[in-house]
Amino acid sequence: MNISPNKVVSLSYELRIDGKDGEIIETVNASHPLVFLYGTGNLLPKFESHIANLTAGASFAFLLKCEDAYGPASEEALIEVPVTTFMIDGEIDNDLLREGNPVPMIDGNGNHVNGIVAEVKKDTVVMDFNHPLAGDDLFFSGIVVDVREATLEEIERGNAGNGNCSPHDCSSCGDGCCS
């Protein structure tokens, strides 16, 4: 069975930044593969186009330039936030405000976002809301573990499994719900 829309795909892979000899930043093995509903926009479009029509057992290796992945890093994603935003019980948590520290936040629309502390100033904190892989070329290599027809429920819901998992990280459940 070929990878095509409304198929549930299981992949094992290795992700490197900046090419096939770059630093490994993620490994997903076949015992806990990435499981997703193909064609629903849950993964990078160019990633999906590279694995289209592959079958179980097929291997893949390809480079996504940053423009086709998470885009270049943007200066507009660097936001100065008043230091008082980080007060807990009237005190600034200096452990929280360390450069490079990820901080979960909520944007003006109530969406949960993660920012990285880029710089701590006297009255403000510069937060970086770029995707962590913005500006990086991504090299994927791996194997198609399985391809199956999606159930009607999976198609209606737009993701694989029983609905309790993130479509991007089925291993987070720990109960095999995405299998």
Q: What is the pLDDT of residues 35-70, one digit of tens each?
A: 999 999 989 999 999 999 999 999 999 999 999 999
* Domain covering 7-70+135-172 in this structure, CATH number: 3.10.50.40
| Secondary structure of residue 43 in the 3-state scheme | coil
User: In angstroms, rounded to a whole number, what is the distance separating the alpha carbons of residues 137 and 81?
Assistant: 29
Residue ranges, comma separated, of all CATH 2.40.10.330 domains in the chain are 75-128
The pLDDT tens digits of the residues spanning 65-97 come to 999 999 999 999 999 999 998 888 888 888 889
Contacts of 50 (CB under 8 A, 6+ apart): 60, 62, 64, 140
Quote the pTM value: 0.79
pLDDT band at 162 (very low <50, low <70, confident <90, very high): low
Q: Which top CATH class is 75-128?
A: mainly beta
Residue ranges, comma separated, of all CATH 3.10.50.40 domains in the chain are 7-70+135-172
